[in-house]
């Protein structure tokens, strides 16, 4: 059922300054419509009734609008379009909710499916203040060619092709933008940006993303400020990527209407692609004058009103150094006072293991408090919370975090290699260099000559980079090398104003104590602007008596593998394992990725004496991975035991894919198997299984 909230107040005439942005005929019609109906405080449509009553559709070029089933038992809203044969032929499909005009707004929608064919150039998203504009093109509002402002994602933006025939695409990157949409005398155009486009991520087919766009300025305020965010629908607690901008650059105030309808769209940019169609499916549309107050920022409500969701969760997404003793806590809620969460259906999975039995749940079923207090120290966790409401609707909250401590990383038990501290002057190295670099206040280099800052490497020996020369602003740590060594990540880009031009902010990974102890203004450096087949050499002195597991501290917008190799004499290259780096969506979302063997088990590293290891970008050089990775440091930790199992005592043992290892408690937990299993523990030292117990969902083994 649709959920619509009515505000029983008369129209105030707040949009009377319409002459600047709309033809008088259009303005009069819109005002008349507004005066004859009660005004809506908020509007939502989940399309579960299988229609788009109250929406205005585009019609030129031809478009179709259908209502496929959605995963929660309702319907979604699919927009498809094909190119026209005359005039402005670009395929497009627009739909506007037309019973309210908005100046300030909060708009949101889920994107649940889209054309995944890489050989297309699809732009999709939210369109706000959709109207006519008599200063630019004085005609009544044309739903097929509107004026307005878009929050859009341009899919498959950067591509490389194997042949000149534009066939066989090799890779792509997606782009997040806030652009004006201009009806230029009958031709629709995307242009007049409000924010600088952000590139370097890729939407994962099969996942759903929620787009949120807002403006809180009053009519006539200058400049008008806009904020756009992308959320993964499986984690609405924090956005994956946000950006903010205003309309003061290059006279945008003339092109962006002051008010209008809010809707959704798909539009094909004409660039000779073979697939020139439009295909995108939306769900759970919402628009209001202000953001809902039901959840605190940066979280956003679930698009389906009343659906169960996780709020107030600790740890946060991508949390680094989360104290194990703090456990996990969250609220399972429907954000209503009537619809309840099925508390007996709440599930928590850690690294694939169901740990629901250890949850403590209290409070009302509409707002249940949930805690878990069995985290182990120095573990990387991939977590999943599953909820269900009284109507049987299920939602998932997925996130990653770790329970390392800064003190543990600084201890003698581990070895940390900073990715920017690769060899220099043909194999020269420092075994335990102090933190070095430049302070964020712009002062001179810190620890110059005793750290790696400004130590130049030898191309082809210390590193291989496909660029032949350094990039200004991107070789900040070692300015004479082409390797991208940057302090932190460029974050939200904005147009400050027409005089200042482009502004930006910078974000940083967690500042470890060893950097802060030198100077609080000395932040972490990363290696970025990577490309396939590039590599970096690191020579260090290793204790041959130690066996390690390895993690790479990284952020990744374009999923890719990175190999860790041992460079022996000759030189002989020995593969130690691969980091299969998943998408963290953008380069400011950092996590630890484990080094694994070809069968997926944690790799064991045992090196002795002065040894060179290499990080190699283990993918071909193309747009599938180019510039989509940021790496901070290589972390070597004492190897943890590995559990293997087999059907028979003398059978073929294979590693357990999902396991929780608590080395402090000497305990391993794995999902229960309905068939008979025999277990053994492999490690760098001999151990014995001391006990085995069975719970409802798991097998728990202790070792000694």
Q: Which of the following CATH numbers is that of domain 309-402: 3.30.750.200, 3.40.50.300, 2.160.10.10, 2.60.40.1220? A: 2.60.40.1220
Percent of the chain whose pLDDT exceeds 90: 70
> Can you give the pLDDT at residue 4?
32
The pLDDT of residue 602 is above 70 = yes
- Burial tier of 416 (Cβ tally within 10 Å: 0-12, 13-18, 19+): middle
The pLDDT of residue 165 is above 80 = no
Domain 4-160+176-288: give its CATH architecture: Sandwich (2.60)
Longest dimension (CA), the chain: 86
User: Which CA distances in Å does 654 have to 73, 460, 604, 681?
Assistant: 39, 40, 16, 11
- Identify the bridge partners of residue 178 per DSSP, sorted by sequence position: 151
The pLDDT of residue 175 is above 70 = yes
> Can you give the pLDDT at residue 272?
67
Percent of the chain whose pLDDT exceeds 70: 88
Closest C-alpha among 366, 383, 365 to residue 375: 383
How many whole angstroms separate alpha carbon 591 and alpha carbon 401?
7
The pLDDT of residue 28 is above 60 = no
Closest C-alpha among 582, 455, 595, 465 to residue 525: 455
> Can you give the pLDDT at residue 225?
87
Q: What is the pLDDT of residues 495-526, one digit of tens each?
A: 444 444 555 667 899 999 999 999 999 999 99
Higher pLDDT, 441 or 309: 309
* Number of residues that this document lists for the chain: 704
Q: Please, are residues 92 and 264 in contact by the beta-carbon 8 Å criterion?
A: no
Q: Please, are residues 562 and 616 in contact by the beta-carbon 8 Å criterion?
A: yes
Query: Are domains 4-160+176-288 and 309-402 of this chain identical in fold?
Result: no
Q: Which of the following CATH numbers is that of domain 406-638: 2.60.40.10, 3.10.110.10, 2.60.120.260, 2.40.50.100? A: 2.60.120.260
Q: Calculate the CA dihedral of residues 539, 543, 546, 551 and round it to 10 degrees.
A: -20
> Can you give the pLDDT at residue 244?
84
List the chain domain ranges: 4-160+176-288, 309-402, 406-638, 642-703
What rounded mean pLDDT belongs to the chain? 88
How many whole angstroms separate alpha carbon 381 and alpha carbon 374?
12
In this prediction, residues 406-435 reach a mean pLDDT of 97
Q: What is the pLDDT of residues 218-232, one digit of tens each?
A: 877 888 889 999 999
The pLDDT of residue 368 is above 90 = yes
Reduced to 3 states, what is the DSSP secondary structure of residue 449? Answer: coil
How many whole angstroms separate alpha carbon 246 and alpha carbon 222?
9
Instruction: Specify the pTM.
Output: 0.91
Position 200 confidence tier, pLDDT thresholds 50, 70, 90: confident
For 194, other C-beta atoms within 10 Å of its C-beta total 27
In this prediction, residues 599-620 reach a mean pLDDT of 95
Position 2 confidence tier, pLDDT thresholds 50, 70, 90: very low
């Amino acid at each position: 059922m649709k959920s619509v909230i009515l505000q029983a107040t008369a129209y105030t005439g707040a949009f009377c300054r319409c002459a600047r942005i709309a033809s008088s005929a259009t303005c009069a019609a819109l005002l008349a419509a507004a005066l004859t109906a009660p005004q809506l405080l908020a509007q939502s449509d989940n399309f579960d009734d299988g229609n788009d009553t109250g929406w205005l559709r585009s019609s030129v070029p031809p478009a179709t609008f259908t209502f496929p089933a959605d995963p929660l038992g309702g319907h979604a809203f699919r927009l498809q379009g094909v190119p026209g044969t005359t005039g402005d032929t670009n395929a497009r499909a627009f739909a506007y909710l037309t019973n309210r005009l908005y100046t300030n707004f909060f708009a949101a929608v889920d994107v649940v499916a889209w054309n995944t064919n890489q050989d297309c150039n699809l732009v999709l998203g939210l369109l706000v203040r959709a109207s006519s504009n008599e200063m630019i093109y004085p005609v009544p509002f044309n739903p097929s060619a509107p004026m307005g402002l878009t929050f859009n994602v341009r899919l498959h933006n950067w591509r490389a092709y194997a042949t000149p025939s534009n066939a066989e695409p090799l890779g792509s990157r997606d782009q997040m933008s806030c652009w004006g949409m201009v009806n230029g005398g009958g031709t629709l155009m995307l242009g007049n940006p409000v924010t600088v486009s952000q590139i370097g991520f890729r939407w994962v087919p099969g996942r759903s993303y929620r787009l949120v766009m807002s403006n809180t300025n009053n009519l006539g305020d200058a400049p008008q400020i806009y904020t756009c965010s992308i959320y993964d629908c499986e984690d609405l607690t924090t956005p994956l990527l946000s950006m903010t901008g205003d309309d003061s650059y290059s006279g945008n105030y003339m092109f962006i209407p002051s008010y209008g309808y809010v809707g959704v769209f798909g539009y094909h940019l004409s660039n000779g692609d073979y697939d020139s169609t439009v295909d995108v499916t939306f769900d759970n549309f919402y628009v209001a004058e202000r953001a809902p107050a039901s959840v605190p920022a940066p979280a956003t409500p679930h698009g389906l009103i009343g659906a169960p969701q996780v709020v107030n969760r600790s740890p946060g997404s991508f949390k680094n150094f989360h104290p194990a003793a703090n456990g996990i806590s969250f609220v399972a809620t429907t954000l209503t006072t009537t619809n309840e969460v099925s508390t007996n259906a709440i599930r928590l999975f850690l690294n694939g293991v169901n740990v629901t039995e250890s949850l403590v749940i209290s409070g009302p079923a509409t707002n249940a408090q949930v805690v878990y207090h069995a985290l182990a120290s120095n573990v990387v966790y991939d977590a999943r919370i599953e909820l269900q409401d009284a109507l049987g609707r299920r939602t998932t909250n997925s996130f990653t975090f770790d329970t390392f401590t800064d003190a543990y990383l600084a201890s003698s038990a581990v070895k940390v290699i900073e990715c920017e501290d690769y060899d220099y002057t043909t194999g020269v190295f420092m075994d335990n260099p102090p933190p070095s670099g430049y302070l964020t206040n712009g002062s001179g280099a810190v620890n110059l000559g005793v750290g790696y800052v400004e130590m130049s490497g030898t191309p082809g020996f210390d590193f291989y980079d496909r660029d032949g020369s350094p990039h200004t602003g991107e070789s900040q740590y070692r300015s004479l090398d082409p390797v991208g060594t940057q302090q932190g990540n460029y974050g939200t880009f904005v147009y400050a104003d027409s005089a200042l031009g482009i502004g930006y902010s910078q974000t940083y990974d967690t500042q470890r104590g060893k950097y802060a102890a030198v100077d609080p203004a000395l932040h972490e450096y990363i290696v970025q602007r990577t490309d396939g087949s590039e590599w970096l050499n690191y020579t260090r002195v290793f204790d041959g008596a130690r066996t390690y597991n390895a993690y790479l501290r990284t952020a990744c917008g374009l999923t890719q593998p990175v190999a860790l190799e041992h460079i022996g004499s000759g030189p002989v290259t020995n593969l130690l394992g691969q980091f299969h780096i998943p998408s963290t969506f953008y380069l400011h979302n950092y996590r630890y990725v484990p080094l694994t063997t070809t069968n997926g088990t944690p790799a064991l590293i045992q090196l002795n004496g002065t040894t060179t290891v290499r990080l190699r970008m283990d993918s071909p050089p193309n747009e599938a991975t180019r510039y989509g990775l940021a790496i901070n440091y290589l972390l070597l930790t004492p190897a943890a035991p590995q559990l293997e199992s087999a059907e028979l005592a003398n059978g073929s043992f294979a590693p357990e894919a999902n396991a929780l290892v608590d080395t402090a408690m000497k305990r391993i937990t794995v999902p229960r198997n309905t068939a008979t299993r025999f277990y053994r523990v492999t490690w760098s030292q001999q151990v014995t299984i001391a006990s085995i117990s069975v719970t409802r969902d798991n097998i728990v083994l202790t070792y000694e």
